[in-house]
């Protein structure tokens, strides 16, 4: 069992930065690939980025490449998302998710989810 708690969301102006964190409790955090998804109002949840168990493999959706960076610290059971050059279209609830099966963009394969943290980017 893994419990995930996100933090770090908020309101920021376009061009600004935010750093999201996801704290995991439970055993064997390092066995899980971790990802961030987001859901904007009226839209489906979408993949943002993922990182494998060791932090050596990352994947980003095209719209955030070069602006967002995912990282993890297995000693602290945390995964972070550094978001720079934020745009109004980045406004969404951001969720972290854990998957023992490895990195994937398919949200249905993720076993554990956090409650989400709101990110709002004003123009």
Q: How confident is the model at residue 101 (pLDDT cuts 50, 70, 90)?
A: confident
Average pLDDT over residues 39-58: 96
Q: What is the pLDDT of residues 66-93, one digit of tens each?
A: 999 999 999 999 999 999 999 999 999 9
Phi, psi at residue 16, to the nearest 5°? -85, -175
CA distance 119 to 36: 13
Average pLDDT over residues 56-70: 98
Q: For 81, how many CA atoms within 13 A lie in the half-sphere containing its CB?
A: 31
- Give the H/E segment covering residue 88: none
Sign of CA dihedral 111, 116, 83, 80: negative
Q: What is the pLDDT of residues 6-16, one digit of tens each?
A: 999 999 999 99
């Amino acid at each position: 069992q893994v419990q995930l708690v996100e933090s770090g969301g908020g309101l920021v102006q376009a061009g600004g930065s935010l750093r999201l964190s996801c704290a995991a409790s439970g055993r064997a955090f390092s066995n899980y690939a971790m990802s961030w998804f987001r859901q904007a109002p009226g839209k489906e949840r979408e993949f943002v980025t993922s990182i494998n168990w060791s932090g050596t493999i990352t994947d980003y959706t095209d719209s955030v490449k070069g602006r967002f960076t995912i990282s993890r610290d297995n000693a602290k059971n945390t995964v972070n998302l550094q978001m720079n050059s934020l745009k109004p279209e980045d406004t969404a609830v951001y969720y972290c998710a854990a998957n023992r099966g490895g990195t994937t963009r398919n949200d249905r394969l993720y076993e554990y989810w956090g409650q989400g943290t709101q990110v709002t980017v004003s123009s």
